[in-house]
Structures are given as C-alpha cells and as structure tokens.
Amino acid sequence: MPGEHRYVWRIAFKNFIDSLKPRPIQGNKIGKDYIGNKYYEIPADPSRGKRRTTRWYDPAKGLDFQDKIPSEWEAWLRMRRTEPPTEEEISKNLAIAQMKKENAAKLEAKRLEESPLDLPVPIERGPQPFPKYKDFPAGDIEDIYKNKY
C-alpha cells in the first residue's frame, strides 16, 4: 500500500491552523435595543452536556463594550430576568425617565427662582500649617524617645 499514506503531520498541521481561525458562534438572535445593540442567547442543552444558558450582545457599530446598555437588557444578560424585555416595557421606562428629567429641571428652576443667591459661598483660605495637638508631641522621634526614657 505505498500510495495510501495518511500524511499525519500534514493533517495535524492543518487542524492546528484551522483551530487558530475564528469561528462564528451560532446563537439565537433575541432582540435589538434602541441604541443598536443586538442580543443573542444559546439555551442550555443537558443532552449535549451544556448546563448553562449563554447570553451576550454585539455593540452597535462605532460603539464599544464600555458604553452603557439599557438596564432592562443588562438585567436579562446577567440572568436576573428570564424573559427579554419587550418594546412596550422599554418605551414605558424611557417615557418615565424623560418625565423624571423634566420634573427635575422644573424643580431646579423653581428652586433658583425662590433663592437665586442664597447659596453658601465657600471660604477661601490660604495654606494652613499642620495642626498641633497637646496630646501628641511634635518634634524629632529621637527627641521624643530621649524625653520618654
């Protein structure tokens, strides 16, 4: 059987090179938020040995993973809620947040109308010396030990 060589080293090298190439992760697309982030999930499958559900998101183009994501989606990602947020829930929470911002602006304007200049003014002082206390001697350590012993 001289023509049927398996070329084990070639197969091993090819498998090694293929292991370095990125593989796309296949997950179920769950939803998209108003920022443009896309959310995915791979459910648990005990028959294949996968015990935990995996959830992740791809940030919107031009954004980074350090940017904020909506709190509803963050709760879903961190497994604090089982169902992903609905569009109605997100729009309701955005409306509440907008209303709170408007109310805070109205309260601040009202407070400024009532007392525009009654804000406390910080006292400007120059550099202060280090405080001295009677209970704690100030001076060189050697002087302290000479007087003490």
Q: Where are the domains of the chain?
A: 25-109
Q: What is the pLDDT of residues 9-36, one digit of tens each?
A: 888 888 898 888 887 777 889 999 888 8
Q: Model confidence at 1, in pLDDT bands (50, 70, 90)?
A: very low
For 69, how many CA atoms within 13 A lie in the half-sphere containing its CB?
A: 23
pLDDT at 139: 61
Q: What is the pLDDT of residues 31-69, one digit of tens each?
A: 998 888 999 998 888 887 778 888 988 888 877 777 888
| Order of strands across the sheet that contains 38-42 | 28-32, 38-42, 54-58
Name the 3-class secondary structure at 31.
strand
Cα separation, 90 vs 54, in Å, equals 22
Q: Model confidence at 141, in pLDDT bands (50, 70, 90)?
A: low
- Of 58, 42, 62, nearest in space to 50 by CA: 42
pTM for the structure as a whole:
0.56
Cα separation, 32 vs 59, in Å, equals 10
